[in-house]
Amino acid sequence: MTALPTREGLFSPYATIRERCRGLGLPTWRLDTAGVILDEPTEPGLAGLWLRSSDLNARVTAAAAPWRDQADPQTAVLGQGLWLIPLVEQHRRRRLGLTVALAVGPAGLESEVFADACRSAQIEPFASRAALRRFARFDEASAQAVGATLAWMARDLCGLGELQGVVEGFTGELTQSYETISLMYSLGRSMRDLEHPDRFISLVCDRIHETLPFTWLAAVFVDDPRVCGLLARRQIIRCAPNHATPNLAALVPDLLATTPGESRSVMVTADVGPEGESQILVQAILRGGGLAGLLLCGDKYGEDPQISSYDMQLVEAAAAYIGAFLDNAGLVREQQEMFLGSLTALTAAIDAKDSYTRGHSERVAMVAARIAAAGGQPESEVERIHIAGLVHDVGKIGVPESVLGKPGRLTDSEFAAMKLHPEIGHRILQGIPQLADVLPGVLHHHERWDGKGYPSGLAGDMIPHMARVLALADTFDAMSSNRSYRQALTRDRVLDEIRACSGTQFDPQVVEAFWRVDLGPYDALVAEHARAFAAAKAA
C-alpha cells in the first residue's frame, strides 16, 4: 500500500492515537485524502481476518466518503452494534487523511455486517464471534464519548507536537551555533602554528568532517608556492569509514580554472565515485584577492541530503580562516627568508675574510642539520642547528685577517686570538632575540668530548648537544677543505680521523649519527662554492 510522507514527528500524534485506540479495543484504519485505505487493523488471528475482510473494508471506505469534505465529521453507525469514529489528520491546517476507529457492541457480533464479513473472509462465524468478543464492550453513548475524547486528544497531541517541533528547531539552531563557535574557536587557536600549514589544513578538514554530514571533503590548492607556500599542489581528503576516496583528478583542474575568485559557495554535479553523480559544495579559498585553493564537500547524508545555507556558511567561514592563515604564513615565510638571507650575507662576508674558508659556514650548517636529522632530532631543533651553523663563526670578524689567513703554524698569541672567536660571536649575537636559542652552539662549538676544548673546557654531556653536533660538522668541513696551511684531506682520511676521535674529541652518539648522513649534497655544495670562487677570482 502507498504510505503518506513519513518525516519524523509529522504524524506522531495520530500514530499515538491509533496505538491508544488499540489499547482500548478500538481497531483502526488509516485513509488518505482520496479515501483509499493505507493501513488496516493489525489485530492477529480470526479477529484480524474479520477486520481486514474485503467486505468490511468496502463498508469503511463507503462510510468515509462523505467525511472527505467535512471539517469535523461525527461518529456514524456502520450497522447494528457497530459504530465508526472518524478523526481528521492534519498538519498546520493541511488535511492529510483520516483515522477511522471501529467501536463494537455485543449486538454487532449478531449483525448482518458481521455475517457478511465472515463470508467475505471465509471464516467460521462462531469462532470469529468468540475471537471478537473482547472488543464488544461499547454502546452508542460510549462510542460517542470515545469519539469526543479522541478529538480532544488529537488537538492536545497536535499542539504538543507543534511545540515539540519549535523546541527541536530551536535546539537544532543552538546546536548549529555551538558547532560553528566551537569550530571557529579551535581553528582560531590553531592558526598560530604558521610553520606547519599542513597540520592546520588537516585540522580544518577533520573539524568540518566531524561537524557536517558529508561523506567526503577535500582541500586542494593551486600550483603556486608564492600563493600557497608548502601547500602548493597539495590535496588533503577526508572520507567516511568504508567509503571510497573520491576521484578528483579530472574535476579539480577544471574547478580551479573556472571557480570565480569570490567568497560565495557554488554547487556542481559531478561523478567522482562509485555512487555516480552527486552534488558537491565548492568553496573558494582566497588569498590577496586571488584563488589559492578550494574546499570541496560531497555526498551529503542524513535526514536532509540537500546542501543547506548552514553548510555553505560554515564552509565559507572555514575557507576564510584558511585564507587568513595563508596570509599570515606567507608573511612569516617572507620574514624567515629575509632573516636567513641576512644571516647568509653576514656569514658570507665573514668567510670572505679568508679565501680558503669561503662557503665554510654554509657547508657546516648543512652537515650539522643533516647530522641532527639522522640522530632523530625534531624538525624545529634541526632548523635551529642549521641557523647555528650559519653563524657559528661570526666571532671571526674580531680576529685579524693576518691570523685568519696565515699560511703557517700560528704562534701562541695568534692561537689565543683565534680561540676568542666563539666568545666574540656570542657577544655579537646575544642582543638578537631570534638567536637566543642558538647561542650555546656558537659559544661551545670548539669544546671537546674529553674536556680539552675551549673556551670553557666542558666535557661529555655538559657540552650543549647543539655544540657537539657543530663541533663534528665544523671539523669535517675543515679537514675536507683547502686551508692556507695545508691541502684538503681525502675523504677516506677524513672519515678515519673522525672514527679515531670518537669518544675523545667527538660525542660517540653524534659520530654514530654522522655515519648515516648522505654526503652527496655536501659534495655538490662544495663544487658550487668552488665554481663561485673561481668566477670571482677570474673577475
Instruction: Indicate if the pLDDT at residue 190 is higher than 60.
Output: no
Mean pLDDT of 410-427: 89
Instruction: Indicate if the pLDDT at residue 76 is higher than 70.
Output: yes
Kindly state the DSSP code that residue 519 receives in the 8-state scheme: -
Q: Which helix (H) or strand (E) holds 209?
A: helix 197-211
Question: What is the C-alpha separation between 332 and 326, in angstroms, rounded?
Answer: 10
DSSP, residue by residue, 24-57: TT--EEEE-TTS-EEE-----HHHHHHHT-HHHH
Q: From edge to edge, which strands make up the β-sheet containing 76-79?
A: 37-39, 28-31, 94-104, 82-91, 76-79
Confidence of residue 353 (pLDDT cuts 50, 70, 90): low
Mean pLDDT of 281-295: 87
Contacts for 411 with CB less than 8 Å, ≥ 6 apart: none
**Residue among 76, 60, 66 nearest 28 (CA):** 60
pLDDT given at position 461: 95
Question: What is the C-alpha separation between 323 and 317, in angstroms, rounded?
Answer: 10
pLDDT given at position 7: 36
Mean pLDDT of 22-45: 91
User: Does residue 304 or residue 466 have the better pLDDT?
Assistant: 466
**Residue among 282, 288, 300, 387 nearest 343 (CA):** 387
Residue 114: alpha-carbon gap to chain centroid: 66
Q: Contact, 446 vs 464, CB < 8 A? A: no
Confidence of residue 312 (pLDDT cuts 50, 70, 90): confident
Confidence of residue 9 (pLDDT cuts 50, 70, 90): very low
pTM above 0.85, yes or no: no
DSSP, residue by residue, 335-378: HHHHHHHHHHHHHHHHHTTSGGGTTHHHHHHHHHHHHHHHTT--
pLDDT given at position 91: 75
pLDDT given at position 5: 36
Mean pLDDT of 79-83: 93
pLDDT given at position 233: 83
Lowest mean pLDDT among 54-68, 201-215, 321-335: 321-335
Helix axes 309-351, 360-374, angle to 10 degrees: 130
Mean pLDDT of 74-84: 93
pLDDT given at position 45: 92
**H runs (alpha helix) in 352-464:** 360-374, 379-391, 401-404, 412-418, 421-429, 439-444
Mean pLDDT of 95-111: 92
User: Does residue 10 or residue 270 have the better pLDDT?
Assistant: 270
Instruction: Indicate if the pLDDT at residue 347 is higher than 90.
Output: no
**Residue among 200, 197, 217, 226 nearest 292 (CA):** 226
Q: What are the grid coordinates assigned to 109, written together?
A: 457480533
Confidence of residue 11 (pLDDT cuts 50, 70, 90): very low
Lowest mean pLDDT among 127-136, 176-185, 511-520: 176-185
Mean pLDDT of 522-538: 83
First and final C-alpha spacing in the chain: 96
pLDDT given at position 188: 57
Give CB contacts under 8 A, 24+ apart, made by 140-143: 140/77, 140/83, 140/105, 142/103, 143/75, 143/83, 143/85, 143/103, 143/105
Q: Contact, 104 vs 85, CB < 8 A? A: no
Q: From edge to edge, which strands make up the β-sheet containing 265-271?
A: 235-239, 214-221, 290-300, 277-287, 265-271
pLDDT given at position 354: 59
Mean pLDDT of 258-263: 72
pLDDT given at position 181: 55
For residue 407, is the peptide bond before it cis, meaning its omega torsion is within 30 degrees of 0? Answer: no
Q: Contact, 48 vs 41, CB < 8 A? A: yes
Instruction: Indicate if the pLDDT at residue 146 is higher than 80.
Output: yes
Instruction: Indicate if the pLDDT at residue 346 is higher than 80.
Output: no
The neighbour count for residue 461, using CB atoms within 10 Å, is 10
Instruction: List Cα–Cα distances, 539 to 263, 533, 535, in angstroms.
Output: 54, 10, 6
Question: What is the C-alpha separation between 458 and 464, in angstroms, rounded?
Answer: 9
SS3 content of the chain, % helix, strand, coil (to 5): 55, 15, 30
φ, ψ at 293 (rounded to 5°): 175, -170
Q: What are the grid coordinates assigned to 341, written together?
A: 638571507
Instruction: Indicate if the pLDDT at residue 1 is higher than 80.
Output: no
Confidence of residue 265 (pLDDT cuts 50, 70, 90): confident
Residue 128: alpha-carbon gap to chain centroid: 64
Residue 277: alpha-carbon gap to chain centroid: 24
Q: Mean pLDDT, the chain, as a whole number?
A: 84
Amino acid identity for residue 253 in this structure: P
Instruction: Indicate if the pLDDT at residue 310 is higher than 90.
Output: no
Amino acid identity for residue 465 in this structure: H
Q: What are the grid coordinates assigned to 228, written together?
A: 600557497
Q: Contact, 521 vs 366, CB < 8 A? A: yes
Question: What is the C-alpha separation between 416 and 424, in angstroms, rounded?
Answer: 13
Q: Contact, 85 vs 140, CB < 8 A? A: no
pLDDT, one tens digit per residue, over 376-408 is 999 889 999 999 998 898 888 888 877 777 777
Instruction: Indicate if the pLDDT at residue 342 is higher than 90.
Output: no
Instruction: List Cα–Cα distances, 311 to 26, 50, 212, 267, in angstroms.
Output: 46, 52, 7, 12
pLDDT given at position 524: 93
Residue carrying C-alpha cell 464479513: 117
Instruction: Indicate if the pLDDT at residue 194 is higher than 80.
Output: no
User: Does residue 363 or residue 204 have the better pLDDT?
Assistant: 363
Q: Contact, 255 vs 227, CB < 8 A? A: no
Instruction: List Cα–Cα distances, 508 to 293, 386, 412, 448, 461, in angstroms.
Output: 48, 20, 30, 11, 11
Instruction: Indicate if the pLDDT at residue 371 is higher than 90.
Output: yes
Q: What are the grid coordinates assigned to 149, written together?
A: 475524547
Lowest mean pLDDT among 170-184, 227-241, 349-363, 390-404: 170-184
The C-alpha R_g of the chain, in whole angstroms, comes to 43
pLDDT given at position 171: 56
pLDDT given at position 307: 86
pLDDT, one tens digit per residue, over 213-241 is 899 998 989 888 888 777 888 888 888 88
Lowest mean pLDDT among 58-72, 435-449, 457-471, 477-491: 477-491
Residue carrying C-alpha cell 450497522: 79
pLDDT given at position 355: 56
Question: What is the C-alpha separation between 58 and 81, in angstroms, rounded?
Answer: 18
Lowest mean pLDDT among 63-67, 118-122, 356-360: 356-360
